[in-house]
């Protein structure tokens, strides 16, 4: 998921403060405090699905989110300290290299099947009505 639990706590505390200040203007402090605690809990819990959806939207197809952190390369180093390229290809990379975009053949111009005189006569009839 995107971020940490502190994002949820921050949203909850912000809702608590705003609700408490606005409710205090027209209510007793105990009622205002009760409503502010309810707002804190609701906003704290509502931040979980919001963070989950944001993580799904912002995740790119090649990016994987793991608990251990970013994946480290296990390829051995070649001479000169550069990373050696693996010789075998996975199915995904082989499919990407074999991909060729769909190409359409050029469409031929179709000559009009109606006689221009007939078309002109039909247009004249339609404009008279």
Average pLDDT rounded to a whole number, residues 20-39: 93
**pLDDT at res. 119:** 85
pLDDT confidence of 7, banded at 50, 70, 90? Answer: confident
Domain boundaries, the chain: 5-58
Q: Within a 10 A sphere around the Cβ of 40, how many other Cβ atoms? A: 20
Q: 5-24 and 29-58 helices cross at what angle (nearest 10)?
A: 150
Check pLDDT > 80 for residue 10.
yes
Q: Convert the pLDDT of each residue in 30-61 to its tens digit.
A: 999 999 999 999 999 998 888 888 888 887 66
Q: Convert the pLDDT of each residue in 54-68 to its tens digit.
A: 888 887 666 555 555
Q: CB neighbours of 55 closer than 8 A, spacing ≥ 6?
A: 1, 2, 65
Q: Convert the pLDDT of each residue in 70-119 to its tens digit.
A: 555 555 555 555 555 555 556 566 656 777 777 777 777 776 677 888 88
**pLDDT at res. 98:** 76
């Amino acid at each position: 998921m995107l971020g940490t639990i502190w994002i949820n706590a921050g949203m909850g505390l912000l809702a608590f403060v705003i609700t408490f200040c606005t409710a205090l203007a027209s209510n007793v402090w105990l009622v205002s405090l009760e409503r502010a605690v309810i707002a804190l809990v609701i906003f704290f819990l509502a931040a979980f699905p919001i963070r989950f959806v944001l993580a799904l939207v912002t995740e790119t197809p090649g990016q994987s989110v793991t608990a251990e952190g970013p994946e480290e390369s296990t390829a051995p180093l070649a001479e000169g300290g550069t990373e050696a390229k693996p010789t075998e290809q996975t199915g995904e990379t082989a499919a990407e290299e074999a991909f060729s975009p769909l190409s359409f053949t050029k469409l031929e111009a179709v000559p009009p099947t109606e006689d221009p005189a007939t078309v002109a006569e039909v247009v004249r009839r339609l404009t008279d009505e």
